[in-house]
């Protein structure tokens, strides 16, 4: 028997707060109920007057956080 496994990715958009410098956002991370967090592929996009983090998640999680780097 041959099983075909297809990976389904979910793309979510997180709107950045207006007072947050988008240039300092390095990535998004998924946060699980046990407190563990894992980074996710993230692309910062500008849409008119706001910035959004385009987050690619393979598990369709529900809680995300944005990580920033002030350096």
Domain ranges of the chain: 10-68
Give residue 64's pLDDT: 86
Average pLDDT over residues 50-66: 86
| CB contact at 8 A, 14 and 57 | no
| pLDDT mean across residues, the chain | 84
Residue 1 to residues 5, 9, 38, 65: CA-CA distances in angstroms?
13, 26, 34, 41
Residue 55 buriedness (CB in 10 A; 0-12 / 13-18 / 19+): buried
User: Phi and psi dihedrals of 3, rounded to 5?
Assistant: -110, 135
For the record, the structure tokens of 39 come out as 């980074």
């Amino acid at each position: 028997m041959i099983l075909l496994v297809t990976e389904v990715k979910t793309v979510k958009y997180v709107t950045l707060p207006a007072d947050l410098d988008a240039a300092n956002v390095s990535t998004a991370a998924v946060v699980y109920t046990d407190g563990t967090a894992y980074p996710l592929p993230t692309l910062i996009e500008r849409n008119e007057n706001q910035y959004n983090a385009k987050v690619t998640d393979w598990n369709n999680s529900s809680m995300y956080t944005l990580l920033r780097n002030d350096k």
